[in-house]
Amino acid sequence: MRFVLRLLLSIALALATGFGLSYSALTDGRLFGATQLGAWTTWPDIGSPLPNPYTRAHIAREAALHLGRSEGLQFIAHADSAGEPLDLACSYRLDGRSPVSSFWTLAAVDGDWVNLAAPGSDAALRSSEIARAPDGALRIHVGTALRPGNWLELTGTGPFSLVMTLYDTTALTGFSSADTTMPAITREACR
């Protein structure tokens, strides 16, 4: 009887560890193929001709059209800089700088990658369209509530993610420390 209990316990532990670790590796991915810069996560190997096995599995799971390494890099944030999950009930502010790129776009999506822009507004913000501070820093407001300045107007309720896509970028190439600086995401008022 004790043998059977130990066997069942061992099998349960094996299944939980094996599949739990795999799920974590392919969603969060931080300990495996993904890199985190502040609140933002990217898979730097995703546009490489020879990605590591974790990135390869991530590519198969997503079945999307990823950017090649020389085309750019896509960052995604599921939480703000304090680690709180992004929620459409709250407004957020992005401050700081992004790595050098020809241009970037910023959009909000839900878990199924459906764009959450409000009807009649821009589906995404583009770097060439935003007003910047005199020192070149960016400040962008994101959310469903009316905000001044650069505002990515969203609609809906529930959790969401921010996607920042840098085209033709030096991000994570190691040229300078600016290559690893992404805007901070700060939560403001919530409904």
Nearer to other proteins, 109 or 172 (CB): 109
Beta carbon of residue 29, minimum distance to other proteins (angstroms, whole number): 11
Contacts of 180 (CB under 8 A, 6+ apart): 37, 99, 171, 172
Beta bridge partners, 186, equal 93
Contacts of 157 (CB under 8 A, 6+ apart): 88, 89
The residue count for binding other proteins (CB under 8 A) is: 59
97 near 133, Cβ under 8 Å?
no
Helix/strand/coil for 20: helix
Q: Please give the residues from 29 up to 88 whose contact with other proteins meets the rule CB under 8 A.
A: 47-49, 51, 53-54, 56-57, 59-72
Helix (H) or strand (E) holding 62: helix 53-62
Q: With contacts defined by CB under 8 A, name the span among 78-86, 131-139, 140-148, 163-171 that binds other proteins.
A: 163-171
Beta strands in the chain (DSSP E): 35-37, 40-42, 72-77, 90-96, 103-109, 125-126, 138-143, 150-153, 161-167, 184-190
Q: Does 161 bind other proteins (CB under 8 A)?
A: no
Nearer to other proteins, 4 or 133 (CB): 4
Nearer to other proteins, 112 or 135 (CB): 112
Binding track over 124-143 against other proteins, x by CB under 8 A: x-x-x---------------
Residue ranges in contact with other proteins by CB under 8 A:
6-7, 9-19, 21-22, 25-26, 47-49, 51, 53-54, 56-57, 59-72, 102-103, 105, 107, 109, 112-119, 123-124, 126, 128, 165, 167-168
